[in-house]
């Protein structure tokens, strides 16, 4: 039996729905998720993020700029270095909810395939 998710039903304006969609679009890019995952524990410089993600410096900088504009990350300058950190930790709650749901979905699919295969 599938459990029902608890949710607070509230009326949403068109503007609120657009803001919510914009947040999901911001998180819909794998490189931005890699960056957020990398700086989830501690702040990092662009150089450190390039190393951690395996992406180019221009690509990391572009995505950091978008994340900064969206209010998901903040930056701190120390001398010539700029360090980035997550400024809205609620994104990790959202990611955990998605990962948990995906895990349940994949487990159910795996069980269904095993039953089909007669195992």
pLDDT of residue 1: 43
9 in Cβ contact with 20 (< 8 Å): no
* Long-range contacts at 4-7 (CB < 8 A, ≥ 24 apart): none
Q: What is the per-residue pLDDT across 15-50, written as a single tens digit (0 to 9) for each?
A: 999 999 999 999 999 999 999 999 998 999 999 999
Map residue 42 onto helix, strand or coil: coil
Structure tokens at 33: 């998720």
Strand spans (E) along 8-107? 44-45, 73-78, 81-86
More confident: 95 or 50:
50
**Is the predicted pLDDT of residue 78 greater than 90, yes or no?**
yes
Per-residue confidence (pLDDT) for residue 119, from 0 to 100: 62
Residue 39 per-residue DSSP state: T
Cα–Cα distance measured from residue 52 to residue 49, given in angstroms and rounded to the nearest whole number: 5
The torsion angle over the Cα atoms of residues 14, 70, 42 and 93, rounded to 10 degrees, is 10
Name the strand (E) or helix (H) holding 30. Answer: helix 30-38
User: pTM for the full model?
Assistant: 0.77
pLDDT, residue 95, reads: 75
Question: Which pLDDT band holds residue 105 (cuts at 50, 70, 90)?
Answer: confident
């Amino acid at each position: 039996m599938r459990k029902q998710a608890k949710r607070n039903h509230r009326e949403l304006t068109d503007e609120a729905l657009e803001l919510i969609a914009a947040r999901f679009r911001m998180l819909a890019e794998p490189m931005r998720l890699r960056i957020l995952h990398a700086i989830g524990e501690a702040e990092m410089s662009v150089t450190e993020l390039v190393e951690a993600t395996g992406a180019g410096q221009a690509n990391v900088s572009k995505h950091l700029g978008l994340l900064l504009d969206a209010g998901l990350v903040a930056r701190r300058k120390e001398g010539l270095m700029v360090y980035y950190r997550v400024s809205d930790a609620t994104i990790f709650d959202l990611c955990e909810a998605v990962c948990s749901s995906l895990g349940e979905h994949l487990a159910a699919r795996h069980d269904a395939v095993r039953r089909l295969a007669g195992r």
